[in-house]
Amino acid sequence: MTTRKEQHAITAIEDDSLFTFAHYDPEAAERTGYSDYSYWGSTIRIFLKNKTAVFLLILMASLVLFTIIQPYLPNQKDPNKIHIDPETGYQLRNHSPDGEFWFGTNVIGQDLWARIWSGTRTSLLIAILVGIWEVVFGIFIGAVWGYVRQLDALITEIYNVINNIPNTILLMLLAYIMRPSFKTMVIAMCLTGWLGMARFVRNQIVIIRDREYNLASRCLGTPTHRIIIKNVLPYLVSVIVMRIALSIPGTIGWEVFLTYIGLGLPLETPSLGNLLNEGRRVMMSSSLRYQLLFPAAVLSVITVSFYVLGNAFADAADPRNHY
């Protein structure tokens, strides 16, 4: 037989209000030393505070989306179609920008608007393929280089040899030997692009490798690849993302350079590099200069945006800037 008092206590416990979730109170949490710090939460929060970066992110996202859907929009022209002037029956050469040809036509009468977006597509595709390869291969080599002691000396020597040759020269030689095409350009850049990433990952891994928790992991018999993937690489994610962002302007720059020295893509494959090169040929007459200015403007906006985005992300991802 329960007393009245006890019965009262039981009803109080059954009261629903006692079983709701407690809200997080930062002050109360501080007293017990708990923190709701989340690495990605802070990174994203700080990134979003950077108004320029957010603007550029939106700009780039819409630009990438636009280059993908542009050919399917109504009234778009084929980038390789040579337009004929209906009055004279000749090719519509160097037609200044107007309502029909938004960016004008080039020296043989192709629509520059279509060529620029097609070229942006090609250049971004090259940049992204090379960027992905740089990450996959660079991280793999870097991880092995940093973690497997027996291979350290060997890979260091290989790295020294390749790194000692100016990148420009190496890239030129490879492109020269393999004859220009989309495939060979990607291959040539992939062959040289992973070096920086591998070296960076290696240095980081050497620093992180012998921390106590990794030592403990190794003592418990965790296999090497698991330690690398679970314990070491998460540390590097932020910087890796940054390097992908920075490798895009880099790759586009190499493409422009290779095109300039005559090792670029054939003209049927428009790219920002060969559009610029075409524009350069006519740049001396100021009425045709639009053929250089439009591709240069698109290219500059893309490269500067990715560069700034990469740096802004790196700043946001640096835990020293978190609070």
Partner 1 sequence: MLKYSIRRILQSLVTVFIVITVVFLLMRLLPVEGYFTERVDKLTPEQQEAILRKFGLLDPWYIQLKNFYASLLKGDLGNSIIYRPNVPVVDVLRPKIPYSFGFGIASLVLSLVVGLAMGVHMAKEKGRFWDKVWTSFVVFINAVPAAVYLLFIQLYLTHITKLPILFSKDSFVSCILPTISMSLGGAAGYAMWMRRYMVDELNKDYIKLARAKGMPNKDIMVRHVMRNAFVPMAQYLPSSVLFTISGSIYIESLYSIPGMGGLLVDVIQRQDNTLVQALVLIYSVLGIFGLFLGDILMAVFDPRIRLEKEGGAR
Stretch that binds partner 1, among 5-13, 63-71, 131-139, 246-254 (CB under 8 A): 246-254
Subset of residues 262 to 281 that bind partner 1, contact rule: CB under 8 A: 262-263, 276, 280
Give 135 or 308: the residue with its C-beta nearer to partner 1.
308
Among the listed residues 102, 137, 140, 176, the single contact to partner 1 using CB under 8 A: 176
As a whole number of angstroms, the distance between CA 301 and CA 272 comes to 12
User: What minimum distance in Å lies between the beta carbon of 77 and partner 1?
Assistant: 25
Which one of 128, 172, 191, 314 is in contact with partner 1 (CB under 8 A)? 172
Stretch that binds partner 1, among 68-76, 82-90, 226-234, 261-269 (CB under 8 A): 261-269
Query: What is the Cβ-side half-sphere exposure of residue 183, based on CA atoms within 13 angstroms?
Result: 2
As a whole number of angstroms, the distance between CA 234 and CA 125 comes to 27
Please pick, from the candidates 116, 190, 296, 317, the single residue that binds partner 1 as defined by CB under 8 A.
296
Q: Which residue has the tokens 């495939």?
A: 183
* 159: contact with partner 1 by CB under 8 A: no
Q: Residue 320 corresponds to which tokens in the numbers above?
A: 């020293």
The reply to whether 150 sits near partner 1 by the rule CB under 8 A is no
Considering CB under 8 A, how many residues would be counted as binding partner 1? 40
Which residue from 197, 249, 271, 274 is in contact with partner 1, where contact means CB under 8 A?
Answer: 249
Alpha-carbon span 162 to 134, nearest angstrom: 15
DSSP H/E element including 255: helix 233-260
Distance CA 307, CA 310 (A): 5
Q: Which class for 88: exposed (0-12), middle (13-18), buried (19 or more C-beta within 10 A)?
A: exposed
Residues 304-323 that bind partner 1 (CB under 8 A): 304, 306-308, 311
Nearer to partner 1, 92 or 316 (CB): 316
Look up tokens 């080599």; give the residue: 141
Alpha helix stretches (DSSP H) within the chain: 4-14, 26-32, 39-49, 51-69, 112-147, 149-164, 167-178, 182-209, 212-219, 224-226, 233-260, 272-281, 290-317
Residues that bind partner 1 (CB under 8 A): 149, 160-161, 163-169, 172-174, 176-177, 206, 209-210, 249, 252-253, 256-257, 260-263, 276, 280, 283, 292, 296, 299-300, 303-304, 306-308, 311
